[in-house]
Structure 1
């Protein structure tokens, strides 16, 4: 295992260090600047973010940072474009926000890059390409593009290709719209790289990347009478290698594995993953905090990770009865659920992600904190870390981050922060892990923090 244990056991320094921060550090942050998704491409050379203003910013790995020993995780702005604009649904008299909900990269097949981005209603396929040459010497038009007077064309010219300043262009290749009544919460590319799924609260649709005017409904949990609605779909994802399998999670804390070979409409699941509830621990908030906000299949395809409000669970796809590993993220908030309900924080949707070798997990918390868990045999945890994405980290480049600890009681030790002092406006909802290296990206309001493990 090439990853090493990264906790010193007493809340001291770790092997993780600050690499970069993208975005302004001013206090005046507009709602449109808040980052709403983060995603590495398949080789980790590009990193894309989407924000609430409908913009997509793509960062490219600095070539020089890969030649260093040890390698550095440094990225520069590669392209910025407006992916979605605010719209208005006149039939329902509803505004459709431009906020980017998800970004998914396609595997690269040629010189260009392709990615899918979605807001609440519309999915777009973007082509991002480079142009560093220009053609000169046209016969029928001038260099500026104006048509030439035919009377002045006295000889035939052979156009020539000359070097030019590098330009990165983003152009929409497909627009997939009008297929979702409710807000899209997930998109996931199939391993065949030809189809993808999109999910909203009640339905999951299957699309072909070449067909924009129709999709196939593969899951529909909408009851005949909406008053009988008991759960909604919260996340969905294709299996990384088996193109016929996908999973989706629900607000009831369940995950269903579906096989598209069994039936065209996957209303009947192949497997149901659900942990029995402890009746002694039941409370008014039990159903809310058991809702799964994100589900991610491991890169190997054997395991699956789910994130609920208070923790992470790792499931073996061959065992439905209970998770094989459980990681509490911020168990100290259990005593604060009443106030979290009143300020709506209890409905926050935290994402989670796997490391490239499936040996570590990452997810976010409050106060600018995010958690990194190192998996061990039988769920034993050797490297549970609480780290912070903050200006203090940005002021200490290349120095190891200090592990943070939260004191649940009034008595707290040195270097611990009281649970009453946590800032619930500083939420780490979106994180991403480089597919091959120990480089992580963490979205903190309008800033993108990049950290790397020295090992």
Structure 2
């Protein structure tokens, strides 16, 4: 018996079975014949760490929040659920929570440049006291938002009947006369408000017998209030392509084509430039920064990718300006495989750390690559996404499609990776040892209702 247990324990667990994908939910349905407005196109999407909240940003500068509802009601007490010999599985359900206008279109008069309101990235921050915090950015400006549920307060026991105060609704009249008004010793004014023709409010001839202090009553109603706590502006000469929170909960980074800045969440007028790849002569420019991400657990580590297909891991403890990297991840070219398109398709458009921080996922035009940060000799796995387009690279270059950017992500348990493609398709790959899972799904199917 014990020997069998030892053999079972020594046998490595196989890859998880392929997932069965089913449509779950859709937001923002269009009515029949309704035209799609460009401002309504989603440009950024992000789940928080718990998976209970979802934020989307669009080209119109709006941020829309959704919250998960299926986790609130489990259909029984905890003891009843523990007695069940089968798990309760249900599709996650989200409902609309609130929305707010994050960015407005601006104009840079010095550079004669329009700054569109499109949301480039959204990142959730740590929650506190029941409030939600998140960062949103367009090409130039980052904003720090606090979304909180507040109880509605109403004032009762007024001295004036609000139904009688119509028209301008003014209790204290504003006279157009420039003559000085006689004031009483106690600070009162002898002006008769009822003599003012522009005022709809009148005081009784004998005055009020007594004045009551208004009473503030907190009702059971609640409203969600989104407030911009900080605005981080004027720190990037080029378009911001990435923002990333630090695990310390106090700082974050923002990256553009040539620089990465480090910010404190509470200080909006100062940032520290930690990476600068701008050459003294712009004619010598050979690569640009395409994405940057903090390590999920180690607050001193971050990674950034470049248009030459390399990923650099840097340690903030080494120096204030991180000119040198701790590790460099790039795949060596196979002999004789170089072509005109080699550098173009090698450009990395997105990188993501796995939840445990051990692995790093990168996306270039043709492939997904999974890297072990302890092994910089090459990727541990390569997933072919657009290999079928290789014979058509000339056509893609002619219409600039070869410069399209795609994002990537890892599942919470790190067993699967996903990325987008053309024709509303996205690809899911199993990355566990021995897994051959490859799934192609369409994201635009009309849901069956």
Which range is displaced more, 342-351 or 239-248?
Answer: 342-351
Q: Is the 8 A contact 1:126 1:171 kept in 2?
A: yes
Aligned to 1:391: 445
Aligned to 1:5: 17
In the alignment, does 2:211 pair up with 1:206?
no
- Alpha-carbon distance between aligned partners in 2 of 1:236 and 1:305, rounded to the nearest angstrom: 12
For 1:22-41, list aligned pairs within 5 A.
22-25=27-30, 28-41=35-48
CA RMSD of aligned residues (A): 2.5
- Alpha-carbon distance between aligned partners in 1 of 2:389 and 2:209, rounded to the nearest angstrom: 78
Which one of 50, 67, 72 corresponds to residue 60 of structure 1?
A: 67
Q: Please state how far the C-alpha of 1:155 moved relative to its aligned partner.
A: 4.5
Q: Please state how far the C-alpha of 1:140 moved relative to its aligned partner.
A: 9.6
- Alpha-carbon distance between aligned partners in 1 of 2:216 and 2:322, rounded to the nearest angstrom: 56
Larger RCO (CA within 8 A; separation ≥ 6): 1
In the alignment, does 2:403 pair up with 1:347?
yes
- Alpha-carbon distance between aligned partners in 2 of 1:375 and 1:253, rounded to the nearest angstrom: 21
Aligned to 2:203: none
Q: 1:44 to 1:141 in 2, by over 3 A?
A: farther
Which range is displaced more, 16-25 or 79-88?
Answer: 16-25
Which one of 70, 88, 91 corresponds to residue 89 of structure 2?
A: 70
Q: Please state how far the C-alpha of 1:28 moved relative to its aligned partner.
A: 2.3
Q: 1:142 to 1:116 in 2, by over 3 A?
A: farther
Summarize deviations over 1:35-67 as a string: whole Å, max 9, x none.
111101121111011111111111111247863
Q: How many pairs are equivalent?
A: 386
Other structure's SS at 2:64 match: strand
Q: Is the 8 A contact 1:194 1:209 kept in 2?
A: yes
In the alignment, does 2:336 pair up with 1:280?
yes
In the alignment, does 2:50 pair up with 1:43?
yes
For 1:304-319, list aligned pairs within 5 A.
304-319=360-375
Q: Please state how far the C-alpha of 1:153 moved relative to its aligned partner.
A: 9.2
Gaps of 5+ in 1: 7-13, 398-455
- Alpha-carbon distance between aligned partners in 2 of 1:21 and 1:280, rounded to the nearest angstrom: 47
For 1:261-272, list aligned pairs within 5 A.
261-272=317-328
Q: 1:15 to 1:273 in 2, by over 3 A?
A: same
Normalization by structure 1: what TM-score?
0.80
Q: 1:152 to 1:390 in 2, by over 3 A?
A: same
